[in-house]
Structure 1
């Protein structure tokens, strides 16, 4: 059966002074955060797009954020200045940790640990209660551009600028596997909510699906966009996912058969006019995108 989706643009969130590289949401009630090249970390609510609240101003470009939902805190990864722990109710910086003088491109949390990938190819493990580095491994001579955690098998995966994807055990960072298939930097990496597949997006514009059960191999190789794929995010139940690209579009896909259902772009939906860099899927049917055009947009996907 052919599935027909309709897209409604709910709002545009403007106010940043430069390109946006990160967006995270805290809950399905519509609170989310944006950050990018201007160093502003801004809190928004989906139902009130005109009232952005400046949480913090950090010195350098923000490429990544990680919400600590239960603690009401936000970890921000900066260019050249490590990671910073922000109290979002007060806007105060509680702690910082300088890992490297390179950019922090990926931060993922599992239990009481953060897994942080940096521009000089290191994967760091930071213990949250003590805010210290407990482990690290050199994954690549080039950048780690993306990080994903497989909570079922207790592995962490990194996508690198040397075109590879590498997997490590969370316990001691021993290498599990190297996945080769992309022909350029791996900018996007995520594990499906059912923990069965690793999905990667690259500067080669291909989306690859790797089976995490048993022998890891490519299940799908999809030419998904015209240019770099910057992000891949799943709906909470895993039935649908969204991708975004330097080609200025957001695409909605069905996981069951990896089928493209909808393209959201400037011509048809008053979408972004420049590269779309990050996504967040909120609740059942809302996708938030952030772009080089200094703005965030919220899209209601009807017919899922």
Structure 2
């Protein structure tokens, strides 16, 4: 098992955006995904036809975050300075919007019928999707909220901020339950393993920390995972593997069982991105979509998982 060898094939590159990309999501369609970034365009792509991007919407400012409402075929878009927008993916029309702050919306996560929205002025807003109103809000930090992960099993949510801290809250009443110390810079990425055992965090300090959520939350692993900022951590659907991406222009594939690094995808070896890789999406069990400051998205097939 330790000798597991992966091969990588670059399936496609998706160009057409005019500036850096910061968000990528999918809905229930097995071949479609959506990208957005600094040019304000929300674009639908089909992995089989990479040259045929379809513009869904254009918003005036930078998009740092999106969240798909798969059962409704809708998309929530977080817009810099303007709050959030609800888009219908069938028509491309904006259904609703909500002005939350004049700061950036860096994180949007869904749990059942609620959205958790993290903003540049240090707040997390809890929003009812059905009623489209704010049901609660938490002042997390005097600095930006950069990442959110929802623990559905324990009914908690975790928030990473630019003050270097990770804080956990109960969904029921938004009371703080834990503060995690360890990172030395902004926490740009949080995700929970598919088996709900671990919280993984990635930071501007280039470290990935693995926190054991059983009992008293503590660091299970502290891994110098990249050379520079870790922008995203994403598990594949089975939860057996995950990928990280970084300002160092690389994507790395890891094994969940032992947190072992299996593969590095970069420009020199795989015609990877030439600038910071900002976000990742597993389109299925073995295809990763990455988006970058180089204005493009790429699709990678990971063989041998």
Q: Do Structure 1 and Structure 2 share a fold, with TM-score over 0.5?
A: yes
SS at structure 1 position matched to 2:16:
coil
Q: Distance in 1 between matches of 2:77 and 2:227?
A: 30
Alignment map for 1:264-283 (pairs within 5 Å): 264-283=265-284
Q: Could you tell me whether the CA contact under 8 Å between 1:12 and 1:296 is conserved in 2?
A: yes
Listed as ranges, the matches of 1:167-246 within 5 Å are 167-246=168-247
Q: Deviations over 1:166-212 (max 9, x none)?
A: 01011110001000000000000001111111000000000000011
**Cα distance in 1 between the residues matched to 2:304 and 2:210:** 25
Partner of 2:65: 64
Given that 1:28 and 1:282 are in contact with CA atoms closer than 8 Å, whether structure 2 keeps it comes out as no
- Paired with 1:150 and 1:284, the residues of 2 have a C-alpha distance of 22
Distance 2:26 2:270 in 1: 23
* Conserved 8 A contact 1:27-1:282: no
Unaligned runs of 5+ in 1: none
Q: 1:38-92 deviations in whole A, cap 9, x for unaligned?
A: 0000000111101100000001000000000000000000111000000011010
Contact 1:102-1:118 at 8 Å conserved across structures: yes
User: Following TM superposition, by how much is the alpha carbon of 1:132 offset from its aligned partner in structure 2, in angstroms?
Assistant: 0.3
Structure 2 Cα separation of the partners of residues 236 and 216 of structure 1: 25
Cα pair 1:250 1:264 within 8 Å, conserved: yes
Q: How much has 1:249 moved relative to structure 2?
A: 0.2
Cα shift at 1:27: 3.1
Equivalent residue, structure 2, for 1:103: 104
- Give the match's secondary structure for 2:72: coil
For each residue in 1:249-276, what CA deviation from the matched residue of structure 2 results, as whole angstroms up to 9, or x when unmatched?
0000001000000000000000000000
Moved over 6 A (4+): none
Q: Distance in 2 between matches of 1:91 and 1:236?
A: 28
Q: How many residues align?
A: 304
Equivalent runs, 1:1-304 vs 2, <5 Å: 1=1, 2-27=3-28, 29-304=30-305
What is the CA distance between 1:28 and its match in structure 2?
6.1
1:217-266 per-position Cα deviation (integer Å, ceiling 9, x unaligned): 00000000000000000011110000000000000000100000000000
CA–CA distance in structure 2, aligned partners of residues 240 and 99 of structure 1: 35
- TM-score (norm. length: structure 2): 0.99
Q: Distance in 2 between matches of 1:123 and 1:154?
A: 16
TM-score (norm 1): 0.99
* Unmatched 5+ stretches in structure 2: none
